[in-house]
Amino acid sequence: MTTTALTPQPDRFRTFALAALLAVFAWRCTDVLGLLNQQSPGPDFSALWAGGRAALSAPSRIYDFAYVTALQNWPFGEHLRPFVYPPSALLLFAPLGALPLGVAYPLWTVATGGLFLWGSRRVGAPWWIALFPAVWLVAFCGQTTFAIAGLAALALAWRERSITAGVLLGVAAAIKPQLLIFMPIALLAEWRWRSLISAGFTGLLLCGASVAIWGLEPWQAWFAALPRFQTLFETTPGLIEDAITPYAWLQRNGWSTGPTLLLAPVAAALVWLTVRRSDRPADRLIATFGGALLVSPYAMPYEAALLAPGVAVYLGTITHRRWLAYATAACFYTVGLVHGPTSVLMALALLAEPLWLSRRPTA
């Protein structure tokens, strides 16, 4: 007796096309190796490590850009490499600062990379998300993107664990709050009050712990350091050119950045509608992080990895009737690593399916 498959099977063309795309993505990852000619691995982690070391030895100088740069003794280039994360993040980075940099960097990359892959799998991303160039770029830089994306992905996937999800989001916000600015809207749209309250409580607890350990001075210094860092970002060659936000794109082309203020309500509405119309964690991940990148004045190519789990979910649905459109968006998302906000806009374009083309979540 023969049986009929209940789910559509991918045709041979799409299977080969996906394999070819992944091969191209893997080839693009070799671009990261080219960075070794310009700097050693872990250029961004060295600033995190130095901030943690300053918190242990000279708390009053955590946000002294020159001092933190000198601690790193970086072999390539002489431009400033400051620590600009909030003092609440020092609860994580101070222990790393107690270790030698050569030990702390691989430990951080492996631990947060594992968290990222775990969270990505929980929201439905295939294993080959590891072939996305943005993922390799995060590993090379030693950035916090793996940690933020992994924590958020797990929180969005664990709906039945409301308090745990909120704790994870609170920890992520304590590290890099600007990337979580639309997460409260996402929680409110789903009436996840317990998650929202536990996230807020966790954030306050971590901030309070940092005050108890280092006092209020680092917080005052952090607020004063933010405009100095923005000036540094805008005047350092190469930074504004590589940024992936609309704000940076307008600025480097000599146009007014005022229109980016109009993107805030657009991003908020996008998050609200996505949560209301789609129950897929991948869609919510794209909406919340994509919305944050739309309004942020500062975000570099490694932050594109925040969107990688959602993009991989869509690229993996090769039986879907709109897969060719998804694959096209994924290609531009990958190429967008060197073309301003293209990567962000292409990831957000994938939300056309749950928002406008279908009232039901995609298969």
322: number of Cβ within 10 Å? 17
Distance CA 113, CA 139 (A): 7
pLDDT at 202: 96
pLDDT at 4: 44
**Amino acid letter for position 83:** F
pLDDT digits (tens, 9 = 90+) for 291-302: 999 999 888 999
pLDDT at 3: 43
Where are the chain's structural domains? Answer: 13-357
- pLDDT per 10-residue tile (average), the chain, 363 residues: 50 88 89 79 93 94 94 76 95 96 96 96 95 94 96 93 94 95 94 93 96 96 94 82 87 81 92 92 95 91 94 93 92 74 91 76 41
Q: What is the percent of the chain with per-residue pLDDT over 90, rounded to a whole number?
A: 66
Mean pLDDT of the chain: 89
pLDDT digits (tens, 9 = 90+) for 240-295: 888 898 988 888 888 888 888 889 999 999 999 999 999 899 999 999 999 999 99
pTM of the entire predicted model: 0.91
